[in-house]
Amino acid sequence: MLDYQTYDLSTVFLLLVLVVAALIDLRRNRIPNWLTFSTFGIGLSLQLIFLGSDGLINGLSGAGVGLALLLPFFLMGGMGAGDVKLMAAVGCFIGMTPVLLATAFSLLLAGGYALLLIGVKGQLSAFMQRYMVSVQTRTWILPETNSIARRRFPFALAIAGGTVIALGWYSKLDFYHLTSELSYQWQLLGVGQ
């Protein structure tokens, strides 16, 4: 019975971590190492305990993909190291293919928010011109110091949103086993009859 609930409980734990990471990132513009490293360790431990060596390989491959997908953005200065480590930790829990989708949705959410913010601040034209020149000259041009594009974005919020969408895509948010067990326990206690 615990084997079936493990997926639900690990998903609940991951969602709680994502909420904590988003709140800390919103407040401090960084994600602390204690959160990312402990989440990474717990994710790998759960994979190993409940799924054995296959789970460990799944967790490590998911972490590797999460890391590899966001590392270029960090190297270009587009995001912080905590964001990259958080996505790697998410990959430990959800595996290689779901972390691909979670990363894609996270980037789409962040990009959509950034474009909305740039448009609201009336800087869309300057933003587009800068990127057109960057493409034509094949050199990265930093935004001006007063540009909204220089503002730090709490990417943990996008990671949380992208991960939730990916988990929903893979039907991991229905918590079937956990709700079934809770319903059964409530029936035994006579609650709701």
The amino acid at residue 40 is F
Whether 10 maps to a domain, the answer reads yes
Q: How many domains does the chain have?
A: 1
CB atoms within 10 A of CB 171: 8
3-class state of residue 105 by DSSP: helix
Per-residue pLDDT of the chain (193 residues; tens, 9 = 90+): 344 455 678 888 999 999 999 999 999 999 999 999 999 999 999 889 888 899 899 999 999 999 999 999 999 888 999 999 999 999 999 999 999 999 999 999 999 998 888 888 888 888 788 878 888 888 877 777 777 766 778 999 999 999 999 999 987 776 655 556 556 666 677 765 5
d(CA 39, CA 55): 16
Rounded-to-integer distance, Cα 16 and Cα 21, Å: 9
Per DSSP, which regions of the chain are E strands?
Answer: none
Residue 178, CA distances (Å) to 5, 34, 164, 168, 181 in order: 6, 28, 18, 16, 5
Examine residue 185 and state whether it is found in any structural domain, yes or no.
Answer: yes
pTM of the predicted structure, to 2 decimals: 0.82
CB 62 within 8 A of CB 96: yes
Asked whether residue 140 is assigned to any structural domain, the reply reads no
Instruction: Give how far Cα 71 sits from Cα of 65, 88, 155, 185, Å.
Output: 10, 10, 14, 45
Domain that holds residue 58: 2-105+154-189
Side-chain-facing half-sphere of 182: CA atoms under 13 Å = 8
Give domain status of residue 51, yes or no: yes
